[in-house]
Structure 1
Amino acid sequence: MPILAYALDNWDLILRLTGQHVGLVLTALGAATATGVPLGIALARRPAIAGAVIGALSALTTVPSIALFGLLLPILAIVGQGIGPLPAVIAVFLYAQLPIVRNTVAAISGVDPMLRDAARGMGMTRRQRLRRVELPLAVPVILAGIRTALVTNIGVMTIAAYVGAGGLGVLISRGISQTDPRQLVTGALAVSLLAVLADLSVLAVQHRLSRRAPVRLEAGHG
């Protein structure tokens, strides 16, 4: 088969582009998690504005990825970063916010109020309740949002090839520009396989966390 022969002949290139792709996605996802989870926790305590923020993030995700890249390029060109990994990472970071923030809000808001009351009655501060009661119960749902963001953005990151950021989108863009179905199909299959492997890996962690022992309230400080 021509596609299989192409893949075997260009295995080193595919591995290098896969490494670039994974690095870009994880960088964006890590930043999105570091900001989205705290934002979701804050919004869960302020339901009056949570809807508006989630609505704005939802509207952002409706912007086509190629259009978002187009908006970012002239802005980042001012600081000399219009071409390269930065616009790709920022775009994927923005797209990852919605599922992470939305799931975090749902997870924290869904904690049984009786558990909160019991923790409050034991003298726990708000920070202690968050760390010892709410977050342990919320982690599986939060992780589901991170999983959604990861799988979705593996596909979105293929657009990064058009701004010189590399990744598996290079094979797809070359296949289109050179009318070479071998590169196009190889790139598409590699992205799909990467998304499936990422999904299964995070799903396994999510299931493990979902089956762990329930939260136990114990008196004490920390």
Structure 2
Amino acid sequence: MIGDVFTWFTTAANWQGTGGILARLAQHVGYIALALVIALVIAIPIGLFVGHTGRGGVVLVGAGNAIRALPTLGLVTFLFLLFTESTTATIIGLVVLAIPPVLAGTYAGLQAAEHDVVDAAQGIGMTGWQRLWQVEVPIALPLVLGGIRNAVLQLIATAAVAAYVGLGGLGRFLLDGLAILDYTEVVAGAILTALLAIVVDLLLAAAQRALVPKGVRLAARAASGRAVAAGGAA
């Protein structure tokens, strides 16, 4: 199997054309990027509002957990039958998948901001809008970006469902390989998906390190160390 997979990857024909690796990879990334942008536009404002005001937190957590329980493949199939349009069904299904981790990360990040810091900002005359963007959001940034990373990894793994409703992406290698019992192609598709997830996660980790202020990183690390120490003492 290892030799067959190596031969598959080194065969030039598998890299070329509309059904080649590069084309399928571009399609896969396209679905992910579009779904992620839509999910960010929906989830981040809601998470900021709920986290900042404290209103609707219970409803938000419950709705997030309910959405997580939805099977993406079943949802995409249902939407395809409803809209009879593959791209619409797939993107809506992926957006629904991506919203909960982004929403949870944004809400949890704002809730994690120390109340003393927020109260101090209010005490020096900052408006609610200023406290949100100048105090709470910078403190919440690690958790917000962590939620986005989580969403992206889930999207990379799940975007393969696009192949089940006639679209492209890396899922085509899995579906087409199973259809003709070509397990080499199936394994190759799984490897490509895993490699894409690893590379994208490394890039997002680097971006997170660059975007999060050093003081926030040090404070989060210190808080984590205190939590570990307290757990050990207990």
TM-score, normalization: structure 2? 0.84
Take 2:97 and 2:54, find their aligned partners in 1: how far apart are those partners? 22
Q: 2:138: which partner in 1?
A: 136
Query: Number of residue pairs matched?
Result: 210
CA-CA distance at 1:206 after TM superposition: 2.3
Matched, 1:65 2:69: no
2:102 pairs with one of 100, 103, 120:
100
Take 1:211 and 1:117, find their aligned partners in 2: how far apart are those partners? 21
Cα deviation 1:182-211 (Å, max 9, x = unaligned)? 210111100010011111111222234445
Greater shift, 17-26 or 204-213, is seen at 204-213
Amino acid at match of 1:123: G
Question: SS of the residue aligned with 2:41?
Answer: helix
Tell me if the contact between 2:138 and 2:213 (Cα under 8 Å) persists in the aligned partners: no
Change in Cα spacing, 1:34 to 1:48, as seen in structure 2 (3 Å) is closer
Greater shift, 103-112 or 43-52, is seen at 43-52
Take 1:140 and 1:68, find their aligned partners in 2: how far apart are those partners? 31
Tell me if the contact between 1:7 and 1:14 (Cα under 8 Å) persists in the aligned partners: no
Tell me if the contact between 2:110 and 2:140 (Cα under 8 Å) persists in the aligned partners: yes
Take 1:181 and 1:25, find their aligned partners in 2: how far apart are those partners? 25
2:15 pairs with one of 11, 25, 40:
11
Take 2:179 and 2:200, find their aligned partners in 1: how far apart are those partners? 29
Amino acid at match of 1:128: Q
User: Which structure is higher in helix share?
Assistant: 2
Cα deviation 1:74-102 (Å, max 9, x = unaligned)? 2223xxxx22x221111111111111111
Q: 1:87: which partner in 2?
A: 89
Matched, 1:43 2:50: yes
Q: Which structure exhibits the higher relative contact order, with contacts defined as CA atoms closer than 8 Å and separated by 6 or more residues?
A: 1
Take 2:53 and 2:77, find their aligned partners in 1: how far apart are those partners? 34
Question: SS of the residue aligned with 2:56?
Answer: helix
- State how 1:72-221 maps to structure 2 within 5 Å: 72-77=79-84, 82-83=85-86, 85-210=87-212, 212-214=214-216
Cα deviation 1:111-148 (Å, max 9, x = unaligned)? 11122122212222111111111111111110000000
Take 1:191 and 1:120, find their aligned partners in 2: how far apart are those partners? 47
- RMSD between aligned alpha carbons? 1.7
Identity across matched positions, percent: 32
Take 2:204 and 2:77, find their aligned partners in 1: how far apart are those partners? 31
Q: Which runs of 5+ in 1 are unaligned?
A: 216-222
Amino acid at match of 1:124: M
Q: Which runs of 5+ in 2 are unaligned?
A: 218-234
